[in-house]
Amino acid sequence: MKLLKPILLGLCTSLFLVACKKAEPLTQYIITVQQPMTGNMPLSCLYANQTKDSLVFYSNCPWEITTYQGDDSWINIQGQKSGKANMFCRYGVTLSSNETGKARYAIFRITDSEQSDKAYTSFSFQQYASRIDGSLGNAPLVKSIQGSDGSEIRVAYDAMSRPLALSLKGNQTEHNLTMIYKDDERKVVVQEVSKFIYRDTTFFVQNAVEEGVYQQMNFNGVDNAFYDPYCLTSLSTTSSANMRCDYNGTIQRSAMVDHLIEYRSFYMNDVFPVSFENAFKVLDQCGPFYTQYGIYYNENGSLTIDDTHVADSMAVYRHYSDNRNVYETYKLSYSNVNNCATNLDVNQLLEGVDNCNPYLLLSMMRLARFTSVISEAKGRYNTYQVGTETNSNGSIKTMTVKDQNGKTITYTFIY
């Protein structure tokens, strides 16, 4: 990221562990920062909708905190800005949500208030333009999407613009998700109830509970320690779901099943993992059903936060309970419409609401979100043309999808 260069330069001009000798013989004065910390750098990287952090430091000398570089108007350090020697300080830090559409940062210095040129250290807060789902911090929140085919999607959010509940209803599919965030543990828990029809049989998934952990992680081929502040890489079952299938209103069978959603790597020669900036997979498996999405970026952009990236092709592989497989590969073209100016990943509507993955629609697996809206998806068996109308802020107002048979569905977005 371009913004990291001035931050790292500013931090590197300061020592992270600073010692100096004062007038007293053999007396050493030290200032050290413990938090924020990313890798071995006194730096905190936050998404646009993250508004809490902390500052922890120790000083053996009289000290004061000053702003060294950048704009600090969005940062509030909840503690005194100067103090006496031999103090260990732990402060809360609050930040405004970033709705500027641009990344921002501020570098602070803690200096020896008596000899500032002899003892000092620095720390920094950086806030990306993007939220944790990849949408811009100023992107409006979609409350509902109404399809001209009778489909409907509704979403509710918390104060951090994160989804709390989703209701998705197609003609043959229903998904109801409820999200619980455990911020102290950096976890999300998803409770799911779903229903879908496959070949005259109705399947019900009840009481599914999945859990995922947001963690700092580098992906294959992305050599950047600041790539993701915290990234959700998988959601897996903590409480097995009951899957029941009914035929003509009669229960045929039921079983306890697990649900897994995760990133997976492609491998060269079954040994060497392919860079995620070239290709990767997203797997969604529930019992005997699974869908695997192959995302082929082929280095069309950067996966680093706030950077643009679009896949030149995408493969969708679906496996059903009767061992039937359906496979389609799409060659993708894009419009000039920014897919990050709307908080949901609108590209997930390409194959219709019945085939829309609710987890990818919410962009919980953020790397699968292309930063531009698809204009055409040309497949071996299906081809889709996509047209969009945007609001003045760049968010989607309507989206029209036409398949190769001329069937057209128009989706209207309500904020």
pLDDT tens, 113-172?
887 777 789 999 999 999 999 999 999 999 999 999 999 999 999 999 999 999 999 999
pLDDT at 90 over 70: yes
Say which DSSP state 183 is in.
Answer: G
As annotated, the residues of the chain forming the CATH 2.60.40.10 domain(s) are 4-127
Cis peptide, bond prior to residue 140, ω within 30 of zero: no
Q: What is the DSSP string of 261-286?
A: EEEE--EETTTEEPPTTTEEEEEEEE
- Flag whether pLDDT at 7 surpasses 60: no
Looking at the chain, the domain(s) classified CATH 2.40.160 span 144-414
Question: Alpha carbon of 136 to those of 98, 316, 411: distances in Å?
Answer: 9, 27, 21
What gap in Å lies between CA 275 and CA 382, rounded to an integer?
29
> Which class is domain 144-414?
mainly beta
Give dist(CA 224, CA 238) in Å, integer: 32
Q: Quick one: pLDDT band at residue 17, thresholds 50, 70, 90?
A: very low
- Specify the CATH superfamily of domain 4-127: Immunoglobulins (2.60.40.10)
Q: Tell me what pLDDT residue 10 has.
A: 55
The three-state secondary structure class of 407 is: coil
User: Could you count the other beta carbons within 10 Å of the beta carbon of residue 59?
Assistant: 26
| Cα dist from 292 to 51, 222, 289, 339, whole Å | 35, 22, 10, 22
Give pLDDT, residue 364. Answer: 96
pLDDT in tens, 202-237: 999 988 999 999 987 666 655 444 455 678 889 999
Q: Which residue has the higher pLDDT, 10 or 347?
A: 347
Instruction: Let me know if 119 is exposed, middle or buried by CB neighbors in 10 A (0-12, 13-18, 19+).
Output: buried
The mean pLDDT value for 374-383 works out to: 96
State the Cα torsion 35-110-51-235 to the nearest 10°: -20
Strands 231-232 and 201-215, bridge-based pairing = antiparallel
Inform me whether the pLDDT recorded for 14 exceeds 50.
no
pTM of the predicted model as reported, rounded to 2 decimal places: 0.89
Give the integer Cα–Cα distance in Å for 410 and 387.
9
Among 257, 274, 256, which Cα is nearest to 265's? 274
- In the block, which residue shows the tokens 């030290």? 30
Strands 120-127 and 43-46: parallel
Give the DSSP H/E element, type plus range, for residue 319: strand 313-319
Stated as kind and residue range, the H or E segment containing 6 is: helix 4-12
pLDDT band at 358 (very low <50, low <70, confident <90, very high): very high
pLDDT average, residue stretch 298-303: 85
